[in-house]
Amino acid sequence: MTRKQAIVPSVYPPSPEPPPGLIALRRQVALLENLPQAELEGGKAKSLTWGLTAIDTHLPGHGLMLGALHEFAGEGQDLEEGALPAAAIARLIGRLHGQGGDGSVLWIGRRRDLYARALPHEGLDPDRLLHLQVRRNADALWAIEDALRCRSLSAVVGEIAALNLTQSRRLQLAAEKSGVPALLIRRTARAGELKNLARQPIAAVTRWRLCAAPSAGIVAAPHPILPGRPRWRLDLWRCRGGRPANWFIEEHDDGWREATLPQPVPAPLGDRLLASPAEADDVEYERAAG
């Protein structure tokens, strides 16, 4: 039941005014779990939002809370480049700026291959970006922690290879203290290595896995098939105070939307979006089938 609600929110929309007793209870739970209460107290939205109701309502606090650590990783070869995580983060921060958030973004990484010309497309103003190039992973960790103390930043983005529980806890505490979100991109030169590293537990509030999916394609003779709107599989792998879930999203001019599948699916086996046998009993099929 709950799972279904998370995935198909249009069927069970969140009730606009929950009973007062429930609000008090939620606040108490939020206090215990150290979750953002702005949403509950009717204040200004204090979170990074995807702009997609299905995802945002699924997350506790209706978005990725500020003042917390969030981890993003690509899959397969994208672990080497971190293209999808970079675009997702740029868009999340761009939305924050659009909602009146001020301050610059500090982007920390070992390679300076973020292409500023692509950022306006994601909604992030390149003039509000500061890039820090570091030589070692340890330097990046130090810089992220130091930068998180600076309240005038709107976000700190770090491209990190190895990260252990203690290190991540330090970052989480620093973020909590200043209210600046820390967004990590897991990235290393050897994807095989990171696959194991990225599975280790860390003290992040949310951990996201992003993966490109084939687009619908536009058939336009005499050309071969043109690429359609980019599609991603968005996988919320870990979420403190929430449930793991995944979505299949498509980029539109006005932001992300949930993608519809190109063809009707005859059977669960017929629409293997991701050929990963390890996740055979995934929720994806539930949605696809129903």
Partner 1 sequence: MTSNTSGQQDKIEPAPLLLVRASGNLRLVHGADDIALARGLCPGQRLADALACVPEARVEDADPTGDLARLHALAQWATRFSPHATPDAPDGLMIDITGCAHLWKGEEKLMDDALARLTRQGFTARAAIAGTIGAAWASARFGGAHSIIPPGSISTALQALPIRALRLDDATAIGLDRLGLRRIGDLYPLHRAEVTKRFGAALLTRLDQALGYAAETLSPLAPLPDHRVSLVFAEPISAPESIARASELLMTRLLRELETQELGIRRLGLIAHRMDDESPGLIIGTARPSRDAKHLLKLLAEKIEMLDPGPGIERMSLSALVAEKMNSVQADFERRHPGLAEADLAPLVDRLTNRLGPGSVTTPRAVASHIPERAATFAPPMERRVPGSDWSTDLPPRPIRLFSPPEPIDAVAPVPDDPPLSFRWRHMQHRVAKAEGPERIRPEWWQAMDDGKETRDYYRVEIEDGRRFWLFRSGLYAQDTARPPRWFLHGIFA
Among 8, 38, 52, 142, binds partner 1 (CB under 8 A): 142
Rounded to an integer, what distance in angstroms lies between the CA atom of residue 56 and that of residue 102?
A: 21
- Interaction mask 120-139, partner 1, x per CB under 8 A: xxx--xxxxxxxxxxx---x
Residues 236-275 that bind partner 1 (CB under 8 A): none
What's the CA gap between 36 and 12, in Å, rounded? 23
Least spacing, CB of residue 192 vs partner 1, in Å: 13
Report the 10 Å Cβ neighbour count for 285.
18
Contact between 214 and partner 1 (CB under 8 A)? yes
Binds partner 1 (CB under 8 A): choice among 119, 160, 204, 259: 119
Query: Minimal CA–CA distance to 106: which of 169, 50, 151, 45?
Result: 151
Smallest distance from partner 1 to CB 35, Å? 28
Please state the separation of Cα 85 from the chain's center in Å: 7
Q: Which is nearer to partner 1, 62 or 233 (CB)?
A: 233
Give ∠ CA 189-123-70 in degrees, rounded to 5.
Answer: 50
Amino acid code (one letter) for 168: S
Query: Closest CB to partner 1 among 30 and 87?
Result: 87
Q: Which is nearer to partner 1, 114 or 174 (CB)?
A: 114
CB of 131 to partner 1, least distance (A): 5
C-beta closer to partner 1: residue 28 or 133:
133
Minimum distance from residue 199 beta carbon to partner 1 (Å): 21
Q: Which of 230, 242, 244, 255 binds partner 1 (CB under 8 A)?
A: 230
CA distance 161 to 184: 10
Q: Which is nearer to partner 1, 69 or 119 (CB)?
A: 119
Q: How far is the CB of 92 from partner 1 (least distance, A)?
A: 12
Of 285, 249, 251, 209, nearest to 55 (Cα)?
249
* Residue 228 is a binding residue for partner 1 (CB under 8 A): yes
Closest by CA to 168, choosing from 145, 199, 139, 194, is 145
Based on C-alpha coordinates, what's the Rg of the chain? 19
Q: Does 215 bind partner 1 (CB under 8 A)?
A: yes
C-beta of 114 vs 236, nearer to partner 1: 114
266 and 248 in contact (C-beta within 8 Å)?
A: no
The 172-211 site mask, x for binding partner 1 (CB under 8 A), equals: ---------------------------------------x
Q: Kindly state whether residue 117 participates in binding partner 1, applying the rule CB under 8 A.
A: yes
CB 174 within 8 A of CB 183: no
In angstroms, the CA 109 to CA 112 distance is 7
How many C-beta neighbours within 10 Å does residue 27 have?
14
Among candidate residues 225, 234, 227, 238, the one with its CA nearest the CA of residue 198: 238
Interface with partner 1 by CB under 8 A: which residues? Answer: 76-78, 81-84, 86-88, 90, 102-106, 112-122, 125-135, 139, 142-143, 146-147, 150-154, 211-215, 217, 223-228, 230-231
